[in-house]
């Protein structure tokens, strides 16, 4: 390929990816692959891979483990929701292969072990999830998806030790993060501070939802106070994991399951459905007349959806035949 063809090929690859991007509200008018801010962040790495005639790599921290809240998920093991997301990535890779023969490689960095002790996940459940998810990747990924977790990058006799080593090497000051979050609520906040505040509010909301289940006995106010503190540590762990990933995969384009602003270092991407913000590990797959969407377990049951069982007679997903389903559910 000459330079113009390499750039054109890279732009087509980026266009395919950005067709499924997640943008925060108010950023929908980004011009995508032709946007100067976005192109300057993502295109150079894609162009470099095309010139070297190697697969373009995208790294995605995701698929940590199932939420500990049974009101949100079917259990602690992967189900049809994860299968849908992997099919999406495999199909996306197949479409890109028709553009660029070397194709792409999605590197999923499973981050459940990184903060399981902070978010209420049992390490044994994380292990079971990772084992079955790894098998699902091999079955569904068509060779275009690889999986990395904390144990692949750190060795040690226990998971607490691995987490401690991660934070020792890559952890940042809690005081600095708190200041960024607080400044992010001010009108004079920088973009970085606003993003820190937005992430903090999002993590707090998820932690609060995960803690609200029938087996817990704390008051809502007590839970809110607790999760506000835990959210800071979740973000610190997540940031440390991001620093490690950037170091280990410097040539990869960084994807995120969270909405990302135009020109961010990370490119937000949807995994299931173009109108669905939920993730497979915080919801269940529901087949509707409009196709599959994700929603909370409790919402699916409240709508009268029928539970479908899969292999080994384990709960897999729901089927909802009501064509008047509200478009707000799962969106």
> Which band of pLDDT confidence, cut at 50, 70 and 90, is reported for residue 1?
low
pTM of the model: 0.90
> Which band of pLDDT confidence, cut at 50, 70 and 90, is reported for residue 329?
very low
Instruction: State both tokens at 262.
Output: 């135009």
Is the separation of the CB atoms in 164 and 110 below 8 Å? no
Report, as an integer, the average pLDDT of 108-115.
94
Is residue 203 predicted with pLDDT exceeding 70? yes
Specify the pLDDT at position 325: 54
Q: Are residues 275 and 295 in the same domain?
A: no
Specify the pLDDT at position 239: 92
Q: In what order do the strands lie in the sheet with 145-149?
A: 145-149, 104-110, 56-62, 253-256, 267-268
Percent of the chain with pLDDT strictly greater than 70 = 95
Per residue in 19-50, pLDDT (tens digit) is 898 887 766 667 777 788 888 899 999 999 99
Report, as an integer, the average pLDDT of 223-229.
90
Is residue 323 predicted with pLDDT exceeding 60? no
Question: How far is the C-alpha of 52 from the C-alpha of 42, rounded, in Å?
Answer: 16
Specify the pLDDT at position 130: 96
Specify the pLDDT at position 26: 65
Q: Are residues 207 and 306 in the same domain?
A: no
> What is the tally of structural domains in the chain?
2
Q: Are residues 185 and 117 in the same domain?
A: yes
Question: How far is the C-alpha of 231 from the C-alpha of 237, rounded, in Å?
Answer: 10
Q: Are residues 16 and 87 in the same domain?
A: yes
Cα of first residue to Cα of last residue in the chain, in angstroms, is 42
Per residue in 62-91, pLDDT (tens digit) is 999 999 899 999 999 999 999 999 999 999
Specify the pLDDT at position 276: 62
> Could you tell me the CATH number of the domain that includes residue 331?
3.30.60.140
Q: Are residues 265 and 328 in the same domain?
A: no
Q: Is 41 left (phi over 0), alpha (psi -120 to 50) or beta?
A: alpha
Q: Are residues 224 and 302 in the same domain?
A: no
Tell me the backbone φ, ψ of residue 317, rounded to 5 degrees: -165, -175
Q: Are residues 241 and 287 in the same domain?
A: no
Q: Are residues 308 and 210 in the same domain?
A: no
Domain that holds residue 224: 3-282
């Amino acid at each position: 390929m000459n330079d113009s063809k390499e750039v054109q090929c890279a732009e087509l690859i980026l266009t395919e990816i950005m067709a499924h991007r997640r943008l925060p509200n108010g950023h929908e008018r980004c011009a995508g692959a032709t946007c100067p801010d976005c192109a300057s962040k993502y295109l150079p790495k894609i162009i470099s891979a095309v010139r070297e005639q190697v697969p373009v790599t995208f790294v995605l921290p995701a698929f940590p483990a199932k939420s500990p809240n049974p009101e949100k998920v079917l259990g602690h093991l992967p189900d049809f929701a994860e299968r849908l997301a992997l099919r999406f990535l495999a199909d996306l890779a197949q479409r890109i292969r028709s553009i660029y023969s070397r194709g792409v490689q999605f590197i999923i960095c499973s981050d459940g072990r990184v903060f399981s002790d902070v978010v209420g996940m049992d390490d044994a459940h994380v292990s079971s999830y990772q084992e079955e998810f790894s098998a699902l990747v091999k079955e569904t990924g068509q060779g275009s998806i690889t999986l990395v977790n904390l144990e692949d990058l750190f060795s040690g006799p226990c998971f607490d030790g691995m987490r401690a080593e991660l934070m020792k090497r890559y952890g940042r000051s809690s005081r600095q993060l708190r200041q960024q979050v607080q400044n992010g609520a001010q009108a004079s906040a920088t973009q970085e501070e606003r993003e820190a505040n937005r992430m903090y509010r999002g993590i707090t909301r998820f932690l609060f939802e995960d803690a609200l289940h029938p087996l817990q006995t704390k008051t809502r106010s007590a839970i809110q106070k607790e999760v506000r503190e835990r959210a800071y540590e979740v973000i610190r762990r997540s940031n440390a994991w991001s620093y490690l990933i950037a170091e280990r995969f410097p040539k990869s384009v960084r994807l995120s399951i969270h909405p990302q602003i135009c020109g961010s270092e990370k490119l937000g991407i949807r995994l299931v459905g173009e109108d669905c913000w939920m993730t497979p590990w915080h919801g269940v797959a529901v087949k509707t007349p409009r196709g599959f969407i994700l929603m909370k377990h409790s919402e699916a049951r409240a709508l009268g959806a029928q539970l479908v069982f899969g292999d080994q007679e384990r709960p897999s997903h729901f089927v909802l035949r009501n064509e008047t389903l509200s478009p707000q559910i799962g969106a």
